[in-house]
Amino acid sequence: MTGNRNPLINGLLKLHITLCLIFIFAPIAGSFVFSLNSDRFPSLPLGSFSTEWYRLIWEDPLVWAGFFNTLLVGACVAAIATLLGFGGAYTDFRYKFFGKPVYLALALLPPTIPVVIMGLAMLAFLSRVSLSGNVISVIIAHGVMCSPFAMAIIRLRLSQMDPDLEAAAWNLGGNEWVTMRHVIIPFTKPAIYAALFITMAVSFDEFAVAWFVSGLNETLPVKVLGFLQGQVSPRINAIGSLAFVSSISFIVIAQLLMRNPESKPS
Amino acid sequence: MNTRPSLFSLTFSLPLLIWQLAFFLFPLAFLVALSFWTVRNFQMQPNFDTVNWVKIYSRSVFWDAYFRTLLLASFSAALISLAAFPASYAISFKLGENAKRWMIFVLIIPFFTSYLVRVYSLQVFLSDAGILNAFLGYLGLGPYSMLNNSFGTLTGYATLCLPLVILLQVFSLNFVNRDLVEAAHNMRCGRLRTVLEVIIPSAKAGLVIAGLFAFILSFGDFVSPLYLGGGNPPTLSIMITDITKSGQQWPRAAVVALTMIATLLTVAFAAIKFAYREAGK
């Protein structure tokens, strides 16, 4: 940027950025460090290096059960949310119709509703239709919360597409279905994969609504909430560090998938 | 455009609509009905009785919690917006394109870490014999009580909201016309005055929306006030989890939830109206 340059003020501003980053990342980095620390209540000076907490969660069958629930929920949610989100994104891209703002609001609003309220509403409703207290209820709730993310990601990709491309395919004799299969889906494929991974990552970390509706079939984040309520245990840090690594892997994979085709002319 | 929607268009538009109607809008609407139900012998019965509303609204505990939550969330939104702004300003105006992109990527990372794990980690940092107090002890300060009070709650809110607020502020600052800033400088408008009278007004909508998000997130969060704030006195969201998990008084929890929704809608509309006032200027 041009304009007035005052090294002191610029230095202070950069210092402020650094302080914000330290504030944001200290708990995350701390959790990594504490997970490898022997102390139950870590403080300065830190205790010795230990993999005890990882061993404890490795040997805890409940943690494994939670992990498999999380995985199952995440996979189903990713598939459902991406399918729904694709439909919504394509609808927004292609059609103009009466009530479209309402349609979009309904599709995109869920993340702005506080999770306690979503949790209560879901629990009350799902228990009326006898769907609460199992894995399906978590999948339903996470489907609602994740599809806006999938829709946004795919819509972004669609907006990069030349709208004439679809018309050209129709002119060449493809009907709508064929065009969808051979033009739209291949074009949005990177975004579809990205949406799959991102929604899965969102579902992996969601604990509040899952806590309300999951009953005894807890997912891993709900398990962590249970640890937090019960006795203090650095196992939370070990689980958190593993979950963080897996979430970040999903994001990096999604990023790579989003980026790759850009280098090739499409 | 066809007057009758084709099978093709319905195949793609309907599933999302049906899903969100059935599992999003309907459950929220059901909360309204639920708030008029009654509980007898630990069983909920469909009814139309205002007893839950009367019961909840006549309790001073509820109103204390309500105003406490409102105050905490407003304070959190203001504080986080203020703390975020210098960072967002520096990211948007002082960093090169590459550094800017990196910064945005780095700020997205926290969204994919578990909020619970971060809160647990903060407990270790903030507790009386924790990392921060031990560190301050080396400097001959403290110990300070940072856990189980409003300071703890606000720290938790900030962990939750700060990355999002910075990102939203950066996005809105990126849209500020750089020529305007240049013009202000050319007319010898001082740095601080440029920020206050040129940059902030032209990015106003985005800055207000960022604050609104901080308010919404803080208002609805139950983890920070419970595990960092001590949970006593409770906030509205803690009330909901307590009532729901401790028995069958869900209709009363629904009253609290609906009051929260009404408050959020009021605040959101007021904020958006304020954000886009004089938008044409």
Chain segment A15-58, per-residue pLDDT in tens: 999 999 999 999 999 888 888 888 777 777 777 788 888 888 88
Phi, psi of B193 (to 5 degrees): -65, -35
Residue of chain A with shortest Cα separation from B136: A44
Largest CA distance in chain B: 77
B59-275: what fold?
MetI-like fold (1.10.3720)
B192 touching A (Cβ < 8 Å): no
**Of A59-63, A214-218, B58-62, which range is least confident?**
A214-218
B244 touching A (Cβ < 8 Å): yes
Q: Are B154 and B221 in contact (CB under 8 A)?
A: no
pLDDT beyond 70 at B3: no
Min Cα distance A168 → chain B (Å) is 17
pLDDT at B135: 85
B18 touching A (Cβ < 8 Å): no
Interacting residues of A107 by C-beta distance below 8 A, sequence separation 6+ = A88, A147, A148, A151, B16, B17, B20
Mean pLDDT over B159-173 rounds to: 93
CB–CB of A125 and B30 under 8 A?
yes
pLDDT at A60: 84
A248 touching B (Cβ < 8 Å): yes
Domains and CATH numbers, chain A: 61-263 (1.10.3720.10)
Mean pLDDT over B214-231 rounds to: 92
Residues of A in contact with B254 (CB under 8 A): 120, 124
pLDDT at A232: 66
Residue A257: which H helix or E strand, with range? helix A235-263
In this complex, which of A147, A177, A240 lies closest to B117 when CB atoms are compared?
A: A240
In this complex, which of B125, B134, B244 lies closest to A27 when CB atoms are compared?
A: B125
pLDDT at B66: 95
CB–CB of A14 and B240 under 8 A?
no
pLDDT at B185: 83
Most confident of A128-132, A235-239, A260-264, B151-155: B151-155
pLDDT at B18: 95
Angle at A29 between CA A27 and CA A30, to 5 degrees: 60
CB–CB of B113 and A43 under 8 A?
no
How sure is the predictor about A2, in pLDDT bands with cuts at 50, 70 and 90? very low
